[in-house]
Structure 1
């Protein structure tokens, strides 16, 4: 699949297996989501631009690199909130901008209910955080919002994707890379990923 990057890292596979297990309690589920998010964001940001800087070590001057791009984290409420902390641990200077969407269970279409983005972009790279790429409707709508905001460098980072969601996002926005822990088999009649892990938001928040 073009521009789709399922992780092959053994730690990701190990933690994802525990995440899928229906016996995993919300506290452990949240820990696993945080850890997986950090591992995935490490892979997703391998191509970020840097510029050279010089620092002084206790022994001598050393040439290094500093991030040249300002990064924005865009968690799609509510499940995307569970991914923020793991990413923030690696990039504490990243800005966080929330976009709220829910899926109409009758039409399976996204409904936007919250967006507090400033008038003009304050970041150069946006990382959309959403555990499940199911129908792809929320992801497409979020990218639409970010592109209309004026950001052109956008990546999607999630835990599990369905082929249907990947196809929808790629059809609408082929320039957006998709980084996930795994690509699953299909969607069921209710729009849930199979085998998946159930409702990520419910399992995160114990509801």
Structure 2
């Protein structure tokens, strides 16, 4: 653990991001930075993920949200970013594409199941749920989540559940959570530039579908 290096990196990024914030909002970003420093001291976060959280938090703060990171929202769930504004709240989960060594032989199914599980589990705890990813990666967004719940077919919901059940058993992903899950947007994170671009799910799928299809990835 290199606390000095971590602290230096998050201070540099915070200073960079603060240029695009109003003066009154800078303390809100500093608060997020301090949360991350304290969590790093407890070995709960790493620098790569923390930088991504800072960039997303800055975007939300600039739009009037109050932001917390690594917030516990249930007995089993801790979300990357929890933001409140008025009577609504937003959760953002950041996906870097990392998969553990034990899934070296089924990386795509595992990664997609993780995305499915996050949409199903986290979206029930907020009014808006979004995924975020570095601009260097692709997220295989299951097409079922582009449809409203009343347009989702039973067999398609079950297909998602069957894949999730391969990896999530304790507790499993519930059928109704998949049926009622909602995905508000996808954030593309430009780490070097220190900004995000928000896309609606259909727009993101339209942009990435051809690339994924060429690799015969379709869910």
**TM-score class normalised by the smaller sequence:** 0.3 to 0.5
- TM-score, scaled relative to structure 1: 0.33
Q: 1 or 2, which has the higher strand percentage?
A: 1
- TM-score, scaled relative to structure 2: 0.31
Q: 1 or 2, which has the higher helix percentage?
A: 2
Higher relative contact order (CA 8 A, sep 6+): 1
